[in-house]
Structure 1
Protein backbone atom coordinates (compact mmCIF):
# COMPACT_ATOMS: atom_id res chain seq x y z
CA UNK A 1 0.00 0.00 0.00
CA UNK A 2 1.02 3.62 -0.53
CA UNK A 3 0.98 5.92 2.51
CA UNK A 4 1.23 9.69 2.25
CA UNK A 5 4.34 10.79 4.14
CA UNK A 6 5.42 14.41 3.97
CA UNK A 7 5.17 15.28 0.26
CA UNK A 8 5.32 11.77 -1.28
CA UNK A 9 3.66 8.39 -1.00
CA UNK A 10 5.83 5.61 0.42
CA UNK A 11 5.24 1.94 -0.29
CA UNK A 12 4.53 0.16 3.00
CA UNK A 13 3.86 -3.51 3.73
CA UNK A 14 2.84 -4.92 7.11
CA UNK A 15 3.90 -8.49 7.73
CA UNK A 16 1.43 -9.37 10.48
CA UNK A 17 -1.08 -8.25 13.10
CA UNK A 18 0.02 -6.06 15.96
CA UNK A 19 -2.92 -6.82 18.24
CA UNK A 20 -3.35 -10.56 18.85
CA UNK A 21 -5.54 -12.77 21.08
CA UNK A 22 -3.88 -13.72 24.36
CA UNK A 23 -6.02 -15.86 26.63
CA UNK A 24 -9.21 -13.93 27.35
CA UNK A 25 -7.69 -10.62 26.33
CA UNK A 26 -5.68 -9.03 23.57
CA UNK A 27 -1.96 -8.40 23.54
CA UNK A 28 -0.24 -5.62 21.61
CA UNK A 29 3.12 -6.46 20.09
CA UNK A 30 5.87 -3.85 19.76
CA UNK A 31 6.26 -2.33 16.30
CA UNK A 32 9.48 -3.16 14.44
CA UNK A 33 10.07 -0.75 11.56
CA UNK A 34 12.56 -2.14 9.04
CA UNK A 35 14.84 0.21 7.07
CA UNK A 36 16.36 -1.50 4.05
CA UNK A 37 19.85 -1.16 2.63
CA UNK A 38 20.97 0.52 -0.56
CA UNK A 39 20.26 3.14 -1.58
CA UNK A 40 18.81 2.17 -4.94
CA UNK A 41 17.30 -1.07 -3.61
CA UNK A 42 13.93 -1.90 -2.03
CA UNK A 43 12.76 -3.80 1.05
CA UNK A 44 12.29 -7.18 -0.62
CA UNK A 45 15.90 -8.32 -0.26
CA UNK A 46 15.59 -8.88 3.50
CA UNK A 47 11.84 -9.33 3.79
CA UNK A 48 11.72 -13.11 3.98
CA UNK A 49 14.39 -13.33 6.68
CA UNK A 50 13.08 -10.57 8.96
CA UNK A 51 9.44 -11.62 8.68
CA UNK A 52 10.52 -14.47 10.98
CA UNK A 53 10.28 -11.95 13.83
CA UNK A 54 6.52 -11.62 13.32
CA UNK A 55 5.75 -13.76 16.36
CA UNK A 56 7.37 -11.22 18.72
CA UNK A 57 6.70 -7.92 16.92
CA UNK A 58 4.53 -6.33 14.28
CA UNK A 59 7.03 -6.05 11.42
CA UNK A 60 6.59 -3.16 9.01
CA UNK A 61 8.62 -2.83 5.82
CA UNK A 62 8.75 0.16 3.51
CA UNK A 63 10.79 1.52 0.62
CA UNK A 64 12.71 4.73 1.23
CA UNK A 65 11.74 7.80 -0.76
CA UNK A 66 12.99 7.41 -4.35
CA UNK A 67 13.60 3.69 -3.85
CA UNK A 68 11.66 0.64 -4.93
CA UNK A 69 7.90 1.20 -5.16
CA UNK A 70 7.92 4.52 -3.31
CA UNK A 71 7.49 7.91 -4.93
CA UNK A 72 10.10 10.63 -4.92
CA UNK A 73 11.91 11.60 -8.12
CA UNK A 74 13.52 14.81 -6.88
CA UNK A 75 17.26 14.23 -6.37
CA UNK A 76 17.47 17.17 -3.96
CA UNK A 77 15.39 15.07 -1.52
CA UNK A 78 17.63 12.01 -1.78
CA UNK A 79 19.54 12.75 1.41
CA UNK A 80 19.78 11.38 4.94
CA UNK A 81 17.97 14.31 6.50
CA UNK A 82 14.90 13.81 4.31
CA UNK A 83 14.99 10.03 4.65
CA UNK A 84 15.17 10.49 8.44
CA UNK A 85 12.21 12.88 8.40
CA UNK A 86 10.31 10.26 6.41
CA UNK A 87 10.84 7.69 9.19
CA UNK A 88 9.25 10.08 11.69
CA UNK A 89 6.56 11.05 9.19
CA UNK A 90 5.67 7.43 8.47
CA UNK A 91 5.31 6.71 12.18
CA UNK A 92 3.06 9.76 12.54
CA UNK A 93 0.93 8.70 9.57
CA UNK A 94 0.48 5.17 10.94
CA UNK A 95 0.09 6.22 14.57
CA UNK A 96 3.19 4.31 15.69
CA UNK A 97 4.41 5.32 19.15
CA UNK A 98 7.89 4.42 20.44
CA UNK A 99 8.84 2.25 17.44
CA UNK A 100 11.73 -0.18 17.43
CA UNK A 101 13.63 0.99 14.36
CA UNK A 102 15.98 -1.49 12.68
CA UNK A 103 18.36 -0.26 9.98
CA UNK A 104 20.56 -2.54 7.89
CA UNK A 105 23.65 -1.08 6.15
CA UNK A 106 22.42 2.11 4.38
CA UNK A 107 19.20 1.69 6.38
CA UNK A 108 21.40 2.03 9.45
CA UNK A 109 22.61 5.42 8.18
CA UNK A 110 18.98 6.50 7.90
CA UNK A 111 18.21 5.05 11.34
CA UNK A 112 21.04 7.06 12.89
CA UNK A 113 19.93 10.22 11.10
CA UNK A 114 16.40 9.69 12.43
CA UNK A 115 17.42 8.81 16.00
CA UNK A 116 19.79 11.77 16.31
CA UNK A 117 17.22 14.21 14.87
CA UNK A 118 14.39 12.83 17.03
CA UNK A 119 16.10 11.30 20.10
CA UNK A 120 12.87 11.10 22.12
CA UNK A 121 10.92 9.28 19.40
CA UNK A 122 12.31 5.71 19.09
CA UNK A 123 11.69 3.11 21.76
CA UNK A 124 14.75 1.12 20.72
CA UNK A 125 17.29 1.20 17.91
CA UNK A 126 18.81 -1.78 16.09
CA UNK A 127 21.83 -1.08 13.88
CA UNK A 128 23.05 -3.96 11.69
CA UNK A 129 26.24 -3.84 9.62
CA UNK A 130 26.40 -0.06 9.63
CA UNK A 131 28.56 2.80 10.90
CA UNK A 132 28.35 6.42 11.94
CA UNK A 133 31.06 7.50 9.51
CA UNK A 134 32.53 5.88 6.40
CA UNK A 135 36.24 5.74 5.61
CA UNK A 136 36.78 4.65 2.03
CA UNK A 137 40.50 3.80 2.20
CA UNK A 138 39.65 1.34 4.98
CA UNK A 139 36.94 -0.17 2.77
CA UNK A 140 39.29 -0.56 -0.20
CA UNK A 141 41.94 -2.21 1.96
CA UNK A 142 39.38 -4.58 3.50
CA UNK A 143 38.02 -5.63 0.11
CA UNK A 144 41.58 -6.35 -1.03
CA UNK A 145 42.29 -8.39 2.10
CA UNK A 146 39.10 -10.43 1.82
CA UNK A 147 38.69 -10.73 -1.95
CA UNK A 148 42.18 -10.16 -3.30
CA UNK A 149 43.81 -7.22 -5.10
CA UNK A 150 41.54 -7.35 -8.18
CA UNK A 151 38.40 -7.15 -6.05
CA UNK A 152 39.97 -4.35 -4.00
CA UNK A 153 40.76 -2.42 -7.17
CA UNK A 154 37.26 -2.96 -8.56
CA UNK A 155 35.67 -1.71 -5.34
CA UNK A 156 37.92 1.35 -5.35
CA UNK A 157 37.11 2.06 -8.99
CA UNK A 158 33.36 2.05 -8.38
CA UNK A 159 33.27 4.00 -5.14
CA UNK A 160 35.67 6.72 -6.32
CA UNK A 161 33.73 7.24 -9.56
CA UNK A 162 30.22 5.76 -9.31
CA UNK A 163 28.75 4.94 -12.74
CA UNK A 164 25.94 2.66 -13.87
CA UNK A 165 28.40 0.35 -15.62
CA UNK A 166 30.72 0.25 -12.63
CA UNK A 167 27.82 -0.45 -10.29
CA UNK A 168 26.66 -3.40 -12.38
CA UNK A 169 30.13 -4.93 -12.25
CA UNK A 170 30.45 -4.16 -8.52
CA UNK A 171 27.14 -5.92 -7.78
CA UNK A 172 28.26 -8.96 -9.77
CA UNK A 173 31.85 -9.32 -8.54
CA UNK A 174 32.19 -7.49 -5.19
CA UNK A 175 28.84 -8.01 -3.49
CA UNK A 176 29.34 -11.81 -3.23
CA UNK A 177 32.04 -11.00 -0.65
CA UNK A 178 29.40 -9.40 1.56
CA UNK A 179 28.69 -12.95 2.77
CA UNK A 180 31.60 -14.64 4.53
CA UNK A 181 30.26 -18.19 4.36
CA UNK A 182 31.31 -19.42 0.94
CA UNK A 183 29.08 -22.52 1.24
CA UNK A 184 26.03 -20.26 0.95
CA UNK A 185 24.93 -18.41 -2.20
CA UNK A 186 25.30 -14.60 -2.24
CA UNK A 187 22.29 -12.35 -1.90
CA UNK A 188 19.75 -12.74 -4.70
CA UNK A 189 18.67 -9.43 -6.26
CA UNK A 190 16.26 -10.96 -8.80
CA UNK A 191 13.22 -9.68 -6.87
CA UNK A 192 14.65 -6.24 -6.14
CA UNK A 193 13.58 -3.08 -7.94
CA UNK A 194 16.83 -1.25 -8.69
CA UNK A 195 17.04 2.55 -8.77
CA UNK A 196 20.62 3.03 -9.88
CA UNK A 197 20.29 6.81 -10.17
CA UNK A 198 19.60 7.08 -6.43
CA UNK A 199 22.72 5.07 -5.62
CA UNK A 200 24.90 7.15 -7.92
CA UNK A 201 23.58 10.33 -6.31
CA UNK A 202 24.48 9.15 -2.80
CA UNK A 203 27.47 6.81 -3.15
CA UNK A 204 31.13 7.62 -2.88
CA UNK A 205 33.47 9.87 -0.88
CA UNK A 206 32.52 12.98 -2.89
CA UNK A 207 28.80 12.59 -2.19
CA UNK A 208 26.86 12.47 1.09
CA UNK A 209 28.08 8.92 1.64
CA UNK A 210 31.54 10.28 2.31
CA UNK A 211 30.49 13.39 4.22
CA UNK A 212 28.08 12.30 6.95
CA UNK A 213 29.35 11.79 10.50
CA UNK A 214 26.89 10.94 13.25
CA UNK A 215 29.50 10.28 15.93
CA UNK A 216 29.11 13.61 17.79
CA UNK A 217 25.31 13.35 17.85
CA UNK A 218 25.16 9.71 18.93
CA UNK A 219 26.02 10.90 22.44
CA UNK A 220 22.49 12.36 22.60
CA UNK A 221 20.69 9.05 22.04
CA UNK A 222 18.17 8.22 24.76
CA UNK A 223 16.97 4.73 23.84
CA UNK A 224 18.59 1.28 24.09
CA UNK A 225 20.74 0.40 21.08
CA UNK A 226 21.68 -3.00 19.68
CA UNK A 227 24.68 -2.78 17.33
CA UNK A 228 25.74 -5.92 15.45
CA UNK A 229 28.54 -6.34 12.91
CA UNK A 230 30.62 -9.04 11.23
CA UNK A 231 34.37 -9.10 11.60
CA UNK A 232 34.81 -9.91 7.87
CA UNK A 233 32.53 -7.15 6.53
CA UNK A 234 34.27 -5.48 3.56
CA UNK A 235 31.85 -2.60 3.01
CA UNK A 236 31.41 -1.63 6.69
CA UNK A 237 34.74 -2.77 8.13
CA UNK A 238 34.76 -3.61 11.81
CA UNK A 239 37.00 -0.67 12.89
CA UNK A 240 34.31 1.72 11.62
CA UNK A 241 31.66 -0.10 13.66
CA UNK A 242 33.88 -0.07 16.75
CA UNK A 243 34.25 3.70 16.39
CA UNK A 244 30.46 3.92 16.19
CA UNK A 245 30.09 1.84 19.35
CA UNK A 246 32.50 4.15 21.16
CA UNK A 247 30.29 7.14 20.31
CA UNK A 248 27.09 5.64 21.79
CA UNK A 249 26.46 6.07 25.53
CA UNK A 250 27.75 2.89 27.13
CA UNK A 251 24.73 2.40 29.39
CA UNK A 252 22.45 2.24 26.32
CA UNK A 253 24.58 -0.02 24.15
CA UNK A 254 24.69 -3.71 23.43
CA UNK A 255 27.43 -4.37 20.87
CA UNK A 256 27.73 -7.80 19.25
CA UNK A 257 30.86 -8.46 17.22
CA UNK A 258 30.18 -11.55 15.10
CA UNK A 259 33.22 -13.68 14.38
CA UNK A 260 32.95 -15.63 11.13
CA UNK A 261 30.46 -13.21 9.54
CA UNK A 262 30.58 -10.68 6.73
CA UNK A 263 28.20 -7.86 5.86
CA UNK A 264 25.17 -10.14 5.50
CA UNK A 265 25.22 -11.21 9.14
CA UNK A 266 21.65 -12.51 9.00
CA UNK A 267 22.72 -14.82 6.16
CA UNK A 268 26.01 -15.94 7.70
CA UNK A 269 24.68 -16.55 11.22
CA UNK A 270 20.87 -16.36 11.24
CA UNK A 271 20.33 -18.20 14.52
CA UNK A 272 22.73 -15.91 16.36
CA UNK A 273 21.44 -12.71 14.77
CA UNK A 274 17.74 -13.40 15.18
CA UNK A 275 18.22 -14.88 18.63
CA UNK A 276 20.01 -11.72 19.74
CA UNK A 277 17.34 -9.47 18.22
CA UNK A 278 14.61 -11.47 19.97
CA UNK A 279 16.37 -11.09 23.32
CA UNK A 280 16.77 -7.35 22.71
CA UNK A 281 13.09 -6.97 21.82
CA UNK A 282 12.11 -8.79 25.01
CA UNK A 283 14.26 -6.63 27.31
CA UNK A 284 12.29 -4.03 29.24
CA UNK A 285 13.98 -0.61 29.35
CA UNK A 286 14.63 0.85 32.79
CA UNK A 287 13.18 4.17 33.91
CA UNK A 288 16.24 5.98 32.55
CA UNK A 289 15.90 4.37 29.12
CA UNK A 290 18.78 1.91 29.50
CA UNK A 291 18.33 -1.81 29.35
CA UNK A 292 18.16 -3.72 32.58
CA UNK A 293 21.69 -5.10 32.48
CA UNK A 294 25.26 -3.96 32.21
CA UNK A 295 26.59 -2.77 28.86
CA UNK A 296 27.72 -5.67 26.71
CA UNK A 297 30.52 -6.02 24.21
CA UNK A 298 30.46 -9.54 22.86
CA UNK A 299 32.35 -11.67 20.39
CA UNK A 300 30.10 -14.33 18.89
CA UNK A 301 31.63 -17.27 17.09
CA UNK A 302 29.16 -18.34 14.44
CA UNK A 303 28.57 -22.04 13.93
CA UNK A 304 27.50 -23.54 10.59
CA UNK A 305 23.84 -22.62 10.36
CA UNK A 306 21.09 -22.81 7.77
CA UNK A 307 20.92 -19.75 5.53
CA UNK A 308 17.42 -18.91 6.73
CA UNK A 309 16.23 -18.70 10.34
Structure 2
Protein backbone atom coordinates (compact mmCIF):
# COMPACT_ATOMS: atom_id res chain seq x y z
CA UNK A 1 0.00 0.00 0.00
CA UNK A 2 1.17 3.51 -0.82
CA UNK A 3 -0.13 6.50 1.15
CA UNK A 4 0.37 10.18 0.36
CA UNK A 5 1.62 12.27 3.28
CA UNK A 6 1.84 15.50 1.31
CA UNK A 7 4.98 15.91 -0.75
CA UNK A 8 5.79 12.18 -0.87
CA UNK A 9 4.11 8.82 -0.85
CA UNK A 10 5.11 6.29 1.80
CA UNK A 11 5.13 2.58 1.15
CA UNK A 12 3.32 0.83 4.01
CA UNK A 13 3.69 -2.85 4.91
CA UNK A 14 0.34 -4.02 6.28
CA UNK A 15 -0.82 -7.11 8.11
CA UNK A 16 -3.85 -7.98 10.24
CA UNK A 17 -7.09 -6.25 11.09
CA UNK A 18 -8.20 -4.34 14.16
CA UNK A 19 -6.72 -1.59 16.28
CA UNK A 20 -3.87 0.09 14.38
CA UNK A 21 -0.24 -0.20 15.42
CA UNK A 22 2.07 2.07 13.41
CA UNK A 23 5.49 0.38 13.52
CA UNK A 24 8.49 2.60 12.70
CA UNK A 25 11.62 0.81 11.54
CA UNK A 26 15.22 1.46 12.45
CA UNK A 27 18.21 2.28 10.32
CA UNK A 28 18.02 4.67 8.65
CA UNK A 29 18.32 3.05 5.24
CA UNK A 30 16.33 -0.06 6.19
CA UNK A 31 12.58 -0.61 5.70
CA UNK A 32 9.39 -1.82 7.38
CA UNK A 33 10.02 -5.45 6.49
CA UNK A 34 12.26 -5.72 9.56
CA UNK A 35 9.10 -5.95 11.69
CA UNK A 36 8.06 -9.29 10.25
CA UNK A 37 7.59 -12.04 11.26
CA UNK A 38 8.13 -10.59 14.77
CA UNK A 39 4.79 -8.74 14.76
CA UNK A 40 2.80 -11.54 13.12
CA UNK A 41 1.55 -12.84 16.51
CA UNK A 42 0.36 -9.30 17.34
CA UNK A 43 -1.54 -9.11 14.05
CA UNK A 44 -3.12 -12.48 14.77
CA UNK A 45 -4.49 -11.14 18.06
CA UNK A 46 -6.66 -8.46 16.50
CA UNK A 47 -4.27 -5.66 15.62
CA UNK A 48 -3.63 -4.00 12.27
CA UNK A 49 0.11 -3.60 11.80
CA UNK A 50 1.09 -0.69 9.57
CA UNK A 51 4.85 -0.49 9.05
CA UNK A 52 5.72 2.46 6.79
CA UNK A 53 9.06 2.87 5.12
CA UNK A 54 10.23 6.32 6.27
CA UNK A 55 10.60 8.87 3.48
CA UNK A 56 13.71 8.06 1.39
CA UNK A 57 13.79 4.57 2.93
CA UNK A 58 12.76 1.28 1.38
CA UNK A 59 10.11 1.72 -1.32
CA UNK A 60 8.97 5.18 -0.19
CA UNK A 61 9.53 8.34 -2.22
CA UNK A 62 12.65 10.31 -1.40
CA UNK A 63 11.35 13.85 -1.74
CA UNK A 64 13.64 16.80 -1.14
CA UNK A 65 16.71 15.80 0.94
CA UNK A 66 16.01 18.90 3.03
CA UNK A 67 13.11 16.88 4.43
CA UNK A 68 15.27 13.98 5.54
CA UNK A 69 14.96 14.86 9.21
CA UNK A 70 13.55 13.16 12.27
CA UNK A 71 10.93 15.91 12.85
CA UNK A 72 9.72 15.66 9.24
CA UNK A 73 9.43 11.89 9.56
CA UNK A 74 7.43 12.41 12.75
CA UNK A 75 5.14 14.75 10.82
CA UNK A 76 4.84 12.03 8.15
CA UNK A 77 3.56 9.66 10.85
CA UNK A 78 0.90 12.20 11.81
CA UNK A 79 -0.07 12.65 8.16
CA UNK A 80 -0.28 8.88 7.73
CA UNK A 81 -2.58 8.58 10.75
CA UNK A 82 -4.81 11.29 9.30
CA UNK A 83 -4.78 9.96 5.74
CA UNK A 84 -5.86 6.50 6.88
CA UNK A 85 -8.31 7.78 9.48
CA UNK A 86 -6.70 5.69 12.19
CA UNK A 87 -8.51 5.65 15.53
CA UNK A 88 -6.64 5.19 18.84
CA UNK A 89 -3.40 4.20 17.10
CA UNK A 90 -0.36 2.95 18.96
CA UNK A 91 2.96 4.25 17.60
CA UNK A 92 5.79 1.73 18.00
CA UNK A 93 9.35 2.87 17.24
CA UNK A 94 12.45 0.66 17.13
CA UNK A 95 15.97 2.14 17.22
CA UNK A 96 16.03 5.07 14.73
CA UNK A 97 12.26 4.62 14.55
CA UNK A 98 12.10 5.30 18.29
CA UNK A 99 13.74 8.69 17.69
CA UNK A 100 10.95 9.44 15.20
CA UNK A 101 8.38 8.21 17.73
CA UNK A 102 9.83 10.47 20.44
CA UNK A 103 9.58 13.41 18.07
CA UNK A 104 5.97 12.48 17.31
CA UNK A 105 5.23 12.37 21.05
CA UNK A 106 6.44 15.94 21.45
CA UNK A 107 5.23 17.44 18.16
CA UNK A 108 1.82 15.75 18.03
CA UNK A 109 1.18 13.35 20.93
CA UNK A 110 -1.89 12.09 19.08
CA UNK A 111 -1.33 8.36 19.56
CA UNK A 112 -3.26 6.57 22.28
CA UNK A 113 0.01 4.98 23.41
CA UNK A 114 3.66 4.63 22.42
CA UNK A 115 6.16 1.79 22.50
CA UNK A 116 9.87 2.66 22.31
CA UNK A 117 12.31 -0.22 21.75
CA UNK A 118 16.09 -0.09 21.43
CA UNK A 119 16.00 3.56 22.37
CA UNK A 120 17.98 6.15 24.31
CA UNK A 121 17.13 9.24 26.32
CA UNK A 122 19.33 11.69 24.40
CA UNK A 123 21.75 11.86 21.45
CA UNK A 124 24.91 11.80 23.56
CA UNK A 125 24.16 8.22 24.59
CA UNK A 126 24.89 7.10 21.02
CA UNK A 127 28.57 7.95 21.57
CA UNK A 128 28.78 4.86 23.77
CA UNK A 129 28.86 2.78 20.58
CA UNK A 130 32.53 3.70 20.18
CA UNK A 131 33.39 2.33 23.61
CA UNK A 132 31.47 -0.86 22.87
CA UNK A 133 33.35 -1.34 19.60
CA UNK A 134 36.70 -0.97 21.33
CA UNK A 135 35.98 -3.87 23.68
CA UNK A 136 33.75 -5.97 21.44
CA UNK A 137 34.32 -9.71 21.71
CA UNK A 138 35.22 -12.03 20.14
CA UNK A 139 38.23 -10.07 18.98
CA UNK A 140 38.36 -11.66 15.48
CA UNK A 141 34.98 -10.02 14.74
CA UNK A 142 35.96 -6.63 16.15
CA UNK A 143 37.47 -5.25 12.93
CA UNK A 144 34.51 -6.50 10.88
CA UNK A 145 31.90 -4.73 13.00
CA UNK A 146 34.03 -1.60 13.49
CA UNK A 147 34.50 -1.30 9.73
CA UNK A 148 30.75 -1.71 9.23
CA UNK A 149 30.04 1.34 11.40
CA UNK A 150 32.77 3.36 9.68
CA UNK A 151 31.35 2.57 6.21
CA UNK A 152 27.92 4.01 7.04
CA UNK A 153 28.96 7.54 6.09
CA UNK A 154 30.33 6.54 2.67
CA UNK A 155 28.26 3.52 1.56
CA UNK A 156 27.33 3.92 -2.10
CA UNK A 157 25.11 1.05 -3.28
CA UNK A 158 22.28 -1.12 -1.93
CA UNK A 159 24.58 -4.14 -2.18
CA UNK A 160 27.19 -2.39 -0.04
CA UNK A 161 24.43 -1.49 2.43
CA UNK A 162 23.39 -5.12 2.68
CA UNK A 163 26.95 -6.27 3.30
CA UNK A 164 27.42 -3.52 5.88
CA UNK A 165 24.29 -4.63 7.72
CA UNK A 166 25.28 -8.30 7.63
CA UNK A 167 28.75 -7.44 8.96
CA UNK A 168 27.14 -5.46 11.78
CA UNK A 169 24.62 -8.06 12.93
CA UNK A 170 27.02 -9.80 15.39
CA UNK A 171 27.27 -6.48 17.25
CA UNK A 172 23.48 -6.19 17.43
CA UNK A 173 22.77 -9.51 19.16
CA UNK A 174 23.74 -10.73 22.61
CA UNK A 175 25.59 -13.79 21.25
CA UNK A 176 27.81 -12.62 18.35
CA UNK A 177 28.69 -16.17 17.28
CA UNK A 178 25.31 -17.81 17.83
CA UNK A 179 22.99 -19.21 15.15
CA UNK A 180 20.76 -16.12 15.20
CA UNK A 181 23.39 -14.19 13.21
CA UNK A 182 23.08 -16.48 10.20
CA UNK A 183 19.30 -16.64 10.63
CA UNK A 184 18.95 -12.86 10.43
CA UNK A 185 21.19 -12.77 7.37
CA UNK A 186 19.19 -15.51 5.66
CA UNK A 187 15.83 -13.81 6.41
CA UNK A 188 16.94 -10.36 5.20
CA UNK A 189 14.43 -8.98 2.65
CA UNK A 190 15.28 -5.30 3.17
CA UNK A 191 15.24 -2.77 0.33
CA UNK A 192 18.31 -0.74 1.25
CA UNK A 193 18.74 2.99 0.53
CA UNK A 194 22.39 4.03 0.91
CA UNK A 195 21.80 7.73 0.30
CA UNK A 196 19.67 8.20 3.42
CA UNK A 197 22.06 6.17 5.58
CA UNK A 198 24.95 8.38 4.44
CA UNK A 199 22.87 11.47 5.14
CA UNK A 200 22.16 10.57 8.76
CA UNK A 201 25.41 8.78 9.61
CA UNK A 202 27.50 11.80 8.67
CA UNK A 203 26.13 13.72 11.66
CA UNK A 204 27.03 11.05 14.19
CA UNK A 205 23.74 11.23 16.11
CA UNK A 206 21.40 10.07 13.33
CA UNK A 207 19.29 13.21 13.51
CA UNK A 208 18.11 12.51 17.04
CA UNK A 209 16.98 15.50 19.11
CA UNK A 210 17.40 15.97 22.85
CA UNK A 211 13.73 16.00 23.86
CA UNK A 212 14.09 15.15 27.53
CA UNK A 213 12.46 18.31 28.84
CA UNK A 214 9.34 18.28 26.64
CA UNK A 215 9.00 14.50 27.07
CA UNK A 216 8.62 15.03 30.82
CA UNK A 217 5.25 16.61 30.01
CA UNK A 218 3.96 13.83 27.73
CA UNK A 219 1.47 11.84 29.79
CA UNK A 220 0.42 9.38 27.08
CA UNK A 221 0.97 5.75 28.21
CA UNK A 222 4.37 4.56 27.04
CA UNK A 223 6.25 1.27 27.14
CA UNK A 224 10.06 1.21 26.93
CA UNK A 225 11.66 -2.08 25.88
CA UNK A 226 15.41 -2.55 26.35
CA UNK A 227 17.90 -5.35 25.84
CA UNK A 228 20.24 -5.77 28.78
CA UNK A 229 23.20 -6.39 26.43
CA UNK A 230 22.36 -3.72 23.83
CA UNK A 231 25.62 -2.23 22.55
CA UNK A 232 23.95 0.31 20.25
CA UNK A 233 21.27 1.86 22.47
CA UNK A 234 22.35 1.27 26.04
CA UNK A 235 19.77 -0.10 28.49
CA UNK A 236 21.01 2.45 31.04
CA UNK A 237 19.96 5.31 28.76
CA UNK A 238 16.64 3.62 27.97
CA UNK A 239 16.08 3.43 31.73
CA UNK A 240 16.76 7.17 32.03
CA UNK A 241 14.10 7.76 29.40
CA UNK A 242 11.61 5.50 31.16
CA UNK A 243 12.22 7.35 34.42
CA UNK A 244 11.57 10.79 32.99
CA UNK A 245 8.36 9.87 31.14
CA UNK A 246 5.45 10.47 33.55
CA UNK A 247 3.30 7.49 32.47
CA UNK A 248 5.79 4.84 31.48
CA UNK A 249 6.37 1.13 31.96
CA UNK A 250 9.74 -0.51 31.34
CA UNK A 251 10.65 -4.06 30.42
CA UNK A 252 14.29 -5.19 30.25
CA UNK A 253 15.07 -8.38 28.32
CA UNK A 254 17.92 -10.10 30.11
CA UNK A 255 19.07 -12.27 27.17
CA UNK A 256 18.82 -9.68 24.41
CA UNK A 257 20.84 -6.93 22.81
CA UNK A 258 19.36 -4.72 20.04
CA UNK A 259 17.31 -7.40 18.27
CA UNK A 260 14.81 -8.19 21.03
CA UNK A 261 12.02 -9.52 18.75
CA UNK A 262 14.36 -12.16 17.33
CA UNK A 263 16.33 -12.88 20.51
CA UNK A 264 13.41 -13.35 22.93
CA UNK A 265 10.36 -13.59 20.65
CA UNK A 266 7.90 -15.08 23.13
CA UNK A 267 8.77 -12.63 25.91
CA UNK A 268 8.65 -9.78 23.40
CA UNK A 269 5.15 -10.68 22.16
CA UNK A 270 3.93 -11.20 25.73
CA UNK A 271 5.19 -7.79 26.89
CA UNK A 272 3.75 -5.95 23.90
CA UNK A 273 0.35 -7.66 24.03
CA UNK A 274 0.07 -7.11 27.77
CA UNK A 275 0.62 -3.38 27.25
CA UNK A 276 -1.65 -3.08 24.22
CA UNK A 277 -4.51 -4.75 26.05
CA UNK A 278 -4.33 -2.13 28.81
CA UNK A 279 -4.06 1.12 26.81
Q: Tell me, in whole angstroms, the C-alpha distance in 2 between the residues paired with 1:93 and 1:143.
A: 42
Question: Which structure 1 segments of 5+ residues have no match?
Answer: 19-29, 285-309
Cα RMSD, aligned residues only:
2.4
Contact 1:56–1:278, Cα closer than 8 Å, also in 2? no
2:258 is aligned, of 254, 263, 288, to: 263
Which one has more relative contact order, counting CA pairs under 8 Å at least 6 apart? 2
SS in 2 for 1:49: coil
Q: Superposed, which structure 2 residues align to 1:4-15 within 5 Å?
A: 4-15=4-15
2:155 is aligned, of 164, 173, 181, to: 164
Match of 2:192 in 1: 194
Question: Which structure 2 segments of 5+ residues have no match?
Answer: none
Match of 2:94 in 1: 104
Q: Tell me, in whole angstroms, the C-alpha distance in 2 between the residues paired with 1:114 and 1:244.
A: 15
Q: Superposed, which structure 2 residues align to 1:224-263 within 5 Å?
A: 224-249=221-246, 252-263=247-258
Moved more, 188-197 or 223-232: 188-197
Residue 173 (structure 2) pairs with residue 179 (structure 1) = yes
Using a 3 Å threshold, how does the CA distance of structure 1 residues 234 and 167 change in structure 2: closer, same or farther?
farther
Using a 3 Å threshold, how does the CA distance of structure 1 residues 195 and 160 change in structure 2: closer, same or farther?
closer
1:147 is aligned, of 122, 134, 137, to: 137
User: If the length of structure 2 is used for normalisation, what is the TM-score?
Assistant: 0.87
Residue 118 (structure 2) pairs with residue 122 (structure 1) = no
Match of 1:72 in 2: 62
User: If the length of structure 1 is used for normalisation, what is the TM-score?
Assistant: 0.79
Contact 1:141–1:152, Cα closer than 8 Å, also in 2? no
Moved more, 252-261 or 45-54: 45-54
Deviations 1:19-50 (A, max 9, x none): xxxxxxxxxxx211111111111111222211
Displacement after TM superposition at 1:136 (Å):
3.9
Match of 2:274 in 1: 279
Deviations 1:240-284 (A, max 9, x none): 2122223211xx111111112110011111111110101001114
Displacement after TM superposition at 1:159 (Å):
4.9
* Structure in which a larger fraction of residues adopt helix: 2
Match of 2:220 in 1: 223
Residue 24 (structure 2) pairs with residue 47 (structure 1) = no
Structure of larger gyration radius: 1
Using a 3 Å threshold, how does the CA distance of structure 1 residues 223 and 52 change in structure 2: closer, same or farther?
same
Contact 1:143–1:235, Cα closer than 8 Å, also in 2? no
Displacement after TM superposition at 1:173 (Å):
2.7
